């Protein structure tokens, strides 16, 4: 199954729409509730980052038997130092965005904590690609 959603930079009224659709699909597929919860946290934060920090983006969602891969490709300023961006509390969000309660610098750490696999690539001046992978059955660790 393949789905796509558009994200508009700066438009907070639709932030979370794709995450909500993905949550509904996972419920229909009877995915374990704990896995759905982690997916929702990671996807919402990734979606909000496109709204808060980029100009526009697309989310590509691919389900197969064992996993869902959620790929967010945006056109935006990109991230110069991904390690620094991953640091809890680091944020370049505007004061308006902060007043709304976003911009605490917890988004990327939340994604890292909740995604089974998280890949971030970015080119300054072009954009950022985030790939979140969630497995439906816990693999032995």
Ligand X SMILES: Nc1ncnc2c1ncn2[C@@H]1O[C@H](COP(=O)(O)OP(=O)(O)O)[C@@H](O)[C@H]1O
Residues of this chain that interact with ligand X (CB under 6 A) are 45, 49-50, 52-54, 74, 76-79, 85, 90-93, 102-108, 128
φ and ψ of 125, to 5 deg: 85, -10
Q: Which is nearer to another protein, 38 or 65 (CB)?
A: 38
Q: Distance between CA 77 and CA 5 in Å, rounded?
A: 20
Q: Which residues on adjacent β-strands are paired with residue 70?
A: 61, 132
Q: Which is nearer to another protein, 114 or 128 (CB)?
A: 114
Binding segment toward another protein, per CB under 8 A, in 40-48, 56-64, 77-85, 132-140: 40-48
Q: Which is nearer to another protein, 104 or 124 (CB)?
A: 104
Per DSSP, the three-state class of 121 is strand
Q: Distance between CA 136 and CA 25 in Å, rounded?
A: 13
Q: Which is nearer to another protein, 79 or 108 (CB)?
A: 108
DSSP labels for 75-119? ESS--S-HHHHHSTT-----HHHHHTT--SS-HHHHHHHH-SEEE
Q: Distance between CA 67 and CA 18 in Å, rounded?
A: 17
Binding segment toward another protein, per CB under 8 A, in 3-11, 68-76, 95-103, 127-135: 95-103
Residues within the interface to another protein (CB under 8 A):
12-13, 15-17, 19-20, 23, 37, 40-41, 44-45, 48, 100-102, 104, 106-107, 110, 113-114
């Amino acid at each position: 199954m393949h789905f796509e959603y558009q994200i508009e930079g700066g438009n907070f009224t639709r932030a979370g729409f794709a995450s909500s659709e993905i949550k509904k699909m996972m419920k229909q597929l009877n995915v374990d509730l704990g896995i759905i919860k982690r997916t929702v946290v990671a996807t919402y934060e990734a979606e909000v980052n496109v709204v808060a920090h980029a100009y526009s983006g697309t989310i590509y969602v691919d389900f197969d038997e064992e996993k869902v891969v959620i790929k967010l490709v945006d056109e935006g300023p990109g991230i110069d130092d991904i390690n620094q961006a991953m640091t809890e509390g680091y944020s370049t969000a505007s004061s308006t965005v902060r007043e709304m309660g976003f911009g605490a610098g917890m988004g990327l750490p939340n994604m890292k904590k909740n995604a089974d696999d998280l890949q971030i690539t970015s080119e300054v001046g072009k954009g950022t690609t985030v790939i979140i992978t969630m497995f439906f059955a816990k693999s032995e660790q």
